[in-house]
């Protein structure tokens, strides 16, 4: 079994993502961490956390990669994130909507293993502003 290395950077990045209601971009994480670590370290930690099954990546409608906490079903072997992601056009937040799972029907001989389903619109926070 591979040993999991915990560093201060890894702990802080994981805590940021776990405590966030929305998915965070690399830039968001770097701003929140301040001088704790450089951008390359953040990329490495995010990759490690994703490989360990702690976080998953979401590419928003603008092509920006965001990271969110995984549900309890994920592992380093397999992620289960076939749910809807909501991308707000006003504040650019990306939110996992776990209880909305689209039904997809593919032609014969096509096998879906994962998909990234993004809905773009206005989030409740921005619609009430």
- 1 belongs to a structural domain: no
In a domain, 42, yes or no: yes
Whether 77 is in a domain gets the answer: yes
What's the pLDDT score for residue 103?
77
> Is 93 part of any domain?
yes
**Number of structural domains found in the chain:** 1
Q: Can you give the pTM of this predicted structure?
A: 0.76
pLDDT < 70 regions, the chain: 1-6, 72-82, 101, 129
Residue 1, pLDDT score = 37
* pLDDT at residue number 46: 95
Q: Is 37 annotated as a binding-site member?
A: no
- Residue 3 inside a domain? The answer is no
Is 88 labelled a binding residue? yes
Residue 66: domain span: 8-127
Q: Per-residue b/e over 100-128, b at no fewer than 16 CB within 10 Å? A: eeeeeeeeeeeeeeeeebeeeeebeeeee
Question: Is the distance from CB of 92 to CB of 125 less than 8 angstroms?
Answer: no
Residue 2 has a pLDDT of: 43
CATH of residue 109's domain is 1.10.10.10
Note the pLDDT of residue 62: 82
- Would 74 be classed as within a structural domain? yes
């Amino acid at each position: 079994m591979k040993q999991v290395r915990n560093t201060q950077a890894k702990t802080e990045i994981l805590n940021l993502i776990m405590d966030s209601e929305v998915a965070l971009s690399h830039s968001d994480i770097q701003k929140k961490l301040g001088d704790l670590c450089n951008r390359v370290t953040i990329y490495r930690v995010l990759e490690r956390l994703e490989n360990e099954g702690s976080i998953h990546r979401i590419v928003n409608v603008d092509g920006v990669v965001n990271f969110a906490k995984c549900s309890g079903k994920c592992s380093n072997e397999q992620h289960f994130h076939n749910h809807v992601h909501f991308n707000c056009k006003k504040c650019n937040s990306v939110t996992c909507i776990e209880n909305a799972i689209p039904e997809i029907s593919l032609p014969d001989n096509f096998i879906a293993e994962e998909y990234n389903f993004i809905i773009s619109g206005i989030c409740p926070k921005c619609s009430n502003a």
